[in-house]
Amino acid sequence: MVISSSEIEAQQELLTQISTPHDDAFKSGANNKTGKHIYWKDHRGWITLLPYNAVELERRIELGFTPMRREYGDFVTTIDRNWNSNTDPYKMLFLKGGAKEFPVEQIIQHQWHLNPPKYGNVTIKFPQIEGLDVPVYECRYCGRKFIEESHLVKHSSVAHKDQSQNAALGEAFRQVLDRPNTDQNELVNAVKSMVEQQNQVMSVLLERLAATENKPSKAKAPSKAKASTVVKAEVSSDKDE
């Protein structure tokens, strides 16, 4: 979407009209942290909450952002029990019916198709994904869901390392059994390989356990320097007497 220079001027004029005396810092772009914010769409259509001031307006439009102030207003970001704009930046947009504005890719990225935002008894709905078949990859060990298979593989290899290794060995063994006319020697070799890998894992675990048990106590005898200091102090004390 290309915004004309006249539209930019109209936005700037509107910005001037809504400003109040205490808005001078926000108008100059010096108070983005506590100044007014609005929702913007970037060149992909993804939505984000960013400052809204005279400087940011022109700069972001040049970068391909589209302001959404006319449709959804502006906000002073807060961190309180009603709205923490750091952890829940899209709350105001959701409550104003803006869920329909999000591109499908952003919805999936935030996993809102799996766990839609909920405020009180209101569950946010995204009409743009109704009837859409979005693949979901669920962890067989903890039930956690992922939007990409690579994310699931990484999670399993870190959070469920032992279970994943056992499952991989079992799958390899099953594949050998499922082959037609499986050679007996091939089957025996597959079992040997599984046992060897399990033994290697056990060996590493036992070595780590032994190393932990054989660690010397952390308590150390006083160093020579400290012992010398003690002796000198005692001698000095005798002389004083």
**Does 192 map to a domain?**
yes
Residue 37, judged by CB atoms within 10 A of its CB (0-12, 13-18, 19+), counts as: buried
**Does 122 map to a domain?**
no
**Does 236 map to a domain?**
no
**Does 187 map to a domain?**
yes
Task: Give the per-residue pLDDT at 188.
Answer: 67
**Does 27 map to a domain?**
yes
Answer yes or no: do 41 and 87 share one domain.
yes
pLDDT digits (tens, 9 = 90+) for 71-84: 999 998 888 778 89
**Does 24 map to a domain?**
yes
pLDDT digits (tens, 9 = 90+) for 48-67: 999 999 888 999 999 999 99
Answer yes or no: do 87 and 12 share one domain.
yes
Range of the domain at 22: 5-101
Q: What is the pTM for the complete model shown?
A: 0.52
- Residues 47 and 96: their CA atoms lie apart, in Å, by 14
- In the chain, how many domains are there? 2
pLDDT digits (tens, 9 = 90+) for 210-227: 776 666 545 444 444 444
pLDDT digits (tens, 9 = 90+) for 24-40: 333 333 334 447 899 99
**Does 43 map to a domain?**
yes
Answer yes or no: do 143 and 57 share one domain.
no
**Does 219 map to a domain?**
no
